[in-house]
Homo-oligomer: A and B are copies of this chain.
Amino acid sequence: MRKTPLYQIVKDSLRAQIDTGELMTGARIDSEEVLADAFGCSRLTVHRALRELADEGLLVRNRRAGTQVAERDTGGVLIRVPRIREEVEALGLAYRYELLARRHAAPSRLVAGLLRVGVGRRMLQVVSRHWASERVFQHENRWINVDEADGALDVDFSEVSANDWLLKNAAYSCIDHEISALCADAETADDLRVAEGAALLQVRRLTHLAKKRVTYAVLMHPGDLLTLRSETRAYSLNAS
């Protein structure tokens, strides 16, 4: 008949006290043993609750020193970088993928550096556009290190986007993102079918496995079409 797990009850209880200011920054939390007594459960159950709250950044734990309420800040935010197709269709627009170019070329010094290949070394470049009905939703300029992405040379990317293919087929462990705003120069404006000088949201994405760089992509979005949103943390204090 109990639906919510015990450790969750402990978590919710402490989180509520922190959120409401009942427990302020720096306040000491009872030791695991004391809390286990108070909640009438085992120490491991309390431990899990405290550990997960600490993982979320709400608590700071130290041996011997005990557990304290962490300093609150906006330090990290989980942003959803949506899948293009889904985002476009969520807007009620028709999604279309368009391959603009697929060629072997030598990337710029900057890109060569990011992908850790020698300057002048030729790589696979895939340029494409993602449409939302009559607007360009994203322009993508991607460089692929074929040494690290087996089979990429055999794909023509006319139907499946490079992003989708790589996610499924390449080995990688980590994707670094950088997000910034800039104005469209003449060429980019033409690519995106927007006015020169229009605001763009640019996402740069570097995919790698340990020290092996797999691919680097520069994604351009018209500023009026894409808004990134943080995941709203599900919060179940009062389900009113």
- Report whether A235 and B173 are in contact in the complex, using a CB–CB cutoff of 8 Å: yes
A173 touches B237 (CB 8 A): yes
- Contact in complex: B199, A182 (CB < 8 Å): yes
Copies in the complex: 2
> Do A181 and B223 touch (CB < 8 A)?
yes
Contact B181 A74 (CB under 8 A): no
Q: Does A72 contact B (CB under 8 A)?
A: yes
> In chain A, residues 169-203, which have Cβ atoms closer than 8 Å to a Cβ of chain B?
169-183, 197-202
* Distance to closest chain B CB from A202 (angstroms): 8
Residues of B within 8 A of A229 (CB): 176-179
Convert A55-94 into 0s and 1s, putting 1 for each residue whose CB lies closer than 8 angstroms to a CB of B: 0000000000000000011111111111100000000000
Q: 5 A-B pairs, CB-CB below 8 angstroms?
A: A75-B82, A75-B83, A180-B227, A181-B181, A183-B223
Query: Which A residues fall within an 8 A CB radius of B?
Result: 15, 19-21, 25, 72-83, 163, 167-183, 197-202, 205, 209-211, 221, 223-224, 226-233, 235, 237-238, 240
